Structure 1
Amino acid sequence: MSIEARLPAVTPLGPDSVAWRVVGDRRLLLGAGTALLLQVAHPVIGAGVHDHSNFTEDPWGRLDRTVDSLLSQVFGGQEAIAEAERLREMHKAIKGVDHHGKRYHALNPEAYWWVHGSTFWTAVRLHDVFLFPMPRQEKSSFYAEWRRLGLLLGLREHHMPEDFEGFEAYFDDVVASRLEDNHTVRELLHSITMRDTPPPPWWFLPETLWRPVRPAGGTVLTLCAIGLLPPPLRDRLSLKWTDADERRLRRIGTVTRMAGSRVPDRLRLYPKAYRAKRG
C-alpha cells in the first residue's frame, strides 16, 4: 500500500528545534555517501535508483537537489509542506520490478520511511564522530522532530517507531535482515571514489586544476562513507576496514571539529540554513 498524498496537520520545525542546529552545517556533507549506501542497499530503493535515477551522469546535480530538499524540509517553514507534496508527487511514477522479480513502488511506506530514517541515523552518527557527541536526550528530541517531518512527508504514525529507543531497535533490525549488496550499491561505491567525476559546476574549476584535487577528495569521501556505516553492513558489502582506516577517520573528525569552530556561520552553514537562522 502506498503513502496517501494529503496535507498533514503538522507544524514545520522552527528555530527552537535540535534539527535547526544540526542539519544546516556543511560538514554533514561528509556523511552523504553513508546515507546513500544505507538507502540503496534497501532492495526497493536500490531498484528505484537503478531504474529511474541519473546520479551517475549528474552526481553534483543530484546531490545539490537532495541537499536542497532536506534543507527545505527542515528550514523552509510553510515551504516544507510544499516540498513534501512535491516529493510525493515525484515518487508516484517510480515503480517497477526489482532484481528479485518483485514489484516495487517508491511510495511504499517501508522504503519511504527508510530513506527518511536512515538520513536521521547518519546525521546523528556523523555529528557524534565529526562534531561532538550528542547527549542521548538531545538525540531523543531530534528523533521526535524527525518523526514530525515524517508526518509532513505523508507517513503515518504507525509507519515510524514511537521513540528513539524504538528507532534504534528498528534500525538494527533493518540492517541485519533487509539490506543487501546490489548493482546500485556498487555503482554508488564507484561514484564516491570520484575517479570519473567532473568538477562541481559551482566551483568553476578547469579540468587541469580539478584533476589533482579529485583523488584526495575521493579518498576522503570513500573513507567517510565506509567508516560511518554500521559494521554489520560494512561486512555484508565486503568493504575492507582496518584500524589504520579508523584512525584516519578520527583524524578527519578532529580536523573538521577544529575547523568548524573557526569558520563563520555564513560560510559554515548552507545559505538556506543561514538565512533562516538570521530570521
Structure 2
Amino acid sequence: MTPVPETTDRDVAVRVGFDEGIREALPMPVDDDAADLVVPLGPDSLVWKFYGDVRGLLGFQRLAGTENCIEQLGKAVEDHSVIFADTLGRAKRSGPPIMKTVYSEDPHAWGRTIRDFHKPIKGTIADGSRYHALNPELFYWAHATFVDQVLYVTDTFVRRLSDAEKEQIFEESKAWYRLYGVSDRSQPQTYAEFVEYWDGMLDRFVATKTIVYATGYIRKGIPGPRRIPRPVWAVVSAPLNAFTRTVVVGTVPPQMREVCGLEWDAKKEKRLQRFARVMRALNPVFNRLPIKALYLPWASEAWQRVGVDPRRLHNTPA
C-alpha cells in the first residue's frame, strides 16, 4: 500500500464543521514545500487500479451531480464556468488535470495547477453569504465526490470491495488530497468518519441552477444532432434514454433524485441491480481487455510507463 502521511493531533484539533467553515469564505492554500513532502500514489494503490478504469464513466452523473448539489459549489460553477454554453467542453477540460494528479509523472505540479486555477473563484449565494473555491470545506467536498466515485463505481460495477479495501482507498485519498496544497482541516480522518460526513452532506443538497440544467437531458430526453430528423432521433434515442433513466439515474443518491425531480421506482431499482450484477460477473472478461481498452488514456499511459500490468492486480477482495 502507498505510504500516506500521518495525521497529527493538531490536524484533528483544527477541524471545524461545514457551516462554520464555509461561511469564512477564505482561501487556505498550504505551503508548497509541505505539499512536496507528500508521497504520491503509485501502481500498488487501489486508487491507481480503479480510478482510471473505463467503467468509472458509469458514475459520471453521480460525480458531477453530487458536486453541484451543494449550493456554494453549484453557484461557483454558475458564476465562473461555461457549463451552460459548453457542457461537454467543460467536462473535457476539467477531468484530465484531476486524473493527471493521480497518474502523471509530476502529480504535485498538476495538483497545484488545479489549486491555482481556483484562486479567483469567489462570490455570494442566495442568502448573501460569501464563498471561495479554496475554502477548505468547499474544496474538500469537491475532492470527496471523486473519492466516492472510486468507492461506489468499483463496488457496484466492478467487484465488491472488502471493508479493508474501502479503508485503504480512503487512506489513499488523503494523500491524493494533499497533492492539491489546500488545508485539510475539514477532512475526515477514518473511513467511518468519511461515510458519516458523506451522509451528512447529502442532506444539504439543494436544486442549484447548475444541477437542474445539467440533468435536463434526463428529464427531457437526450438531445439529437441537428442533421438527424426528430422522428428518426426519437426511435434511435429510445434505448439511450431508457439506459439513462435506469442506470444513470440509478447511480445518483436519492437526495439528488429528489432535488432534481428524477423519477425512480422499485422496478427501475431491480433493473439497475440486475445490470450491476451482470457487470460484476463480467469483471474477468474486462480484465482480459488490452490496457488501452480497459483504462482511460492518462491511466493507460501511466501503467505502461511504470511497466506494470494492472489486470493482474487487486482482482479479488483482500
How far apart, in 1, do the equivalents of 2:108 and 2:255 lie?
Answer: 36
TM-score relative to the length of structure 1: 0.87
- Structure-1 separation of matches of 2:111 and 2:264: 37
1:251 lines up with 2:274 in the alignment: yes
Contact in 2 for aligned 1:33/1:224 (Cα 8 Å):
no
CA RMSD, aligned part only? 2.4
Partner of 2:262: 239
SS of aligned partner of 1:104? strand
In structure 2, relative to structure 1, the CA distance for the partners of 1:227 and 1:10 (3 Å cut) is same
In the TM superposition, residue 66 of structure 1 has moved relative to its aligned partner by: 2.7
Q: Is the 8 A contact 1:226 1:239 kept in 2?
A: yes
Distance change (3 Å), C-alpha of 1:44 and 1:250: same
Q: Is the 8 A contact 1:33 1:221 kept in 2?
A: no
Partner of 1:263: 289
* CA–CA distance in structure 2, aligned partners of residues 77 and 164 of structure 1: 28
Quick one: which amino acid aligns to residue 253 of structure 2?
Answer: P
Query: Is the counterpart of residue 3 in structure 1 residue 3 in structure 2?
Result: no
Q: Is the 8 A contact 1:27 1:256 kept in 2?
A: no
What is the alpha-carbon distance in structure 2 between the residues aligned to residue 43 and residue 174 of structure 1?
A: 11
State yes or no: 1:196 paired with 2:261. Answer: no
Partner of residue 187, structure 1: 213
Q: Deviations over 1:182-202 (max 9, x none)?
A: 211210111456633769xxx
Separation in 1 of the partners of 2:237 and 2:180?
36
1:140 aligns with 2:167: yes
Query: How far 1:261 sits from its partner (Å)?
Result: 4.1
In structure 2, the partner of 1:43 is 71
Judging by fraction of residues, say which structure has more helix: 1
Alignment pair present for 1:97 and 2:120? no
- Number of residue equivalences: 270
Alpha-carbon shift at residue 214 of structure 1 (Å): 4.9
- 8 Å Cα contact 2:218-2:241 kept in structure 1: yes
Computing the radius of gyration from Cα coordinates, the structure with the larger value is 2
Q: 1:274 aligns with which of 293, 300, 306?
A: 300
Q: Is the 2:98–2:111 contact (alpha carbons within 8 Å) kept by the matching residues of 1?
A: no
For 1:238 and 1:191, the matched residues in 2 are separated by: 12
CA distance in 1, matches of 2:58, 2:216: 16
Return closer, same or farther for 1:252/1:61 CA change in 2, 3 Å cut-off.
farther
Tell me, yes or no, if the aligned pair for 1:24 and 1:270 is still in contact at 8 Å: yes
- Is the Cα contact below 8 Å between 1:106 and 1:112 reproduced in 2? yes
User: Which shifted more, 37-46 or 186-195?
Assistant: 186-195
117-126 vs 260-269, which moves further: 260-269
Structure 2 partner of 1:202 = none
Matched-pair identity in %: 28
Q: 1:105 to 1:156 in 2, by over 3 A?
A: closer
Query: What is the CA-CA distance between 1:20 and the residue it aligns to?
Result: 0.8
* Consecutive unaligned residues in structure 2, runs of 5 or more: 1-25, 307-318
Determine the C-alpha separation between the residues in 2 that align with 1:222 and 1:70: 28
Indicate conservation of the 8 Å contact 2:215/2:260, yes or no: no
Matches within 5 A, 1:46-57: 46-57=74-85
Distance change >3 Å, CA 50–CA 224, structure 1 → 2:
farther
Distance 1:85 1:41, change over 3 A: same
Q: Which residue of 2 aligns with 1:203?
A: none
5+ residue gaps, structure 1: 200-205
Query: Which segment drifts farther, 95-104 or 114-123?
Result: 95-104
Give the Å deviation of 1:113: 0.3
1:116 pairs with 143, 155, 158, which one?
143
Q: 2:45 aligns with which of 8, 12, 17?
A: 17
CA distance in 1, matches of 2:178, 2:194: 16
In the other structure, the counterpart of 2:92 is 64
Query: Which range moves more in the overlay, 106-115 or 153-162?
Result: 153-162
Name the CA distance, whole Å, in 1 between partners of 2:53 and 2:98. 12
Q: Per the alignment, in what secondary structure is the counterpart of residue 158 of structure 1?
A: coil
| Residues 249-277 of structure 1: CA deviation (Å, up to 9, x unaligned) | 22332454426245322211112211211
The TM-score normalised by the length of structure 2 is: 0.77
Distance 2:275 2:84 in 1: 26
